[in-house]
Amino acid sequence: MSDPAARRVVVHGTVQGVFFREATRRRAESRGVRGWVRNNDDGTVEALFEGEPEAVDAMVRFVHEGPGAAQVKHVDVEDIQPEGLDGFDVR
């Protein structure tokens, strides 16, 4: 098992009201990724992913596309220190 990775992402585009948070939660849980996802007041979706580096990378790739109805314009990605989170929450 490798050291955990953590990334914070902010997803811009048509990403609210398109099942983005729930799709992200389901994908994260299926990959064993911990963290959270939330809508921001400015219309973006923000998430924190923590876990095995390969699984975290897969989540970052997923949010670049999002669920079918989403129209992702761009994604800000920041490497951060793992916090030791437990589970995955929709906020």
Q: Packing angle between helix 20-31 and helix 53-65, nearest 10 degrees?
A: 160
Going by their DSSP bridges, the two strands 45-51 and 34-39 should be labelled as antiparallel
Helix H or strand E encompassing 13: strand 5-14
Provide the CATH number for the domain around residue 53: 3.30.70.100
Q: Is 40 among the residues known to form the active site?
A: no
Active site residue 26: no
Q: Which of 26, 31, 39, 61 is catalytic?
A: 39
Give the count of domains, the chain: 1
Banded pLDDT at 2 (limits 50, 70, 90): confident
The model scores a pTM over 0.85: yes
Instruction: Tell me how far CA of residue 23 lies from CA of 1, 45, 46, in angstroms.
Output: 26, 12, 13
Inside any domain, residue 90: no
Mean pLDDT, rounded, for 31-53: 98
- Is the pLDDT higher at 2 or at 9? 9
Specify the amino acid at residue 8. Answer: R
Mean pLDDT of 57-72: 97
pLDDT at 1: 63
Give me the percent of the chain exceeding a pLDDT of 70: 99
Domain assignment present for residue 91? The answer is no
Please identify which of the residues 21, 25, 27, 34 carries the catalytic annotation. 21
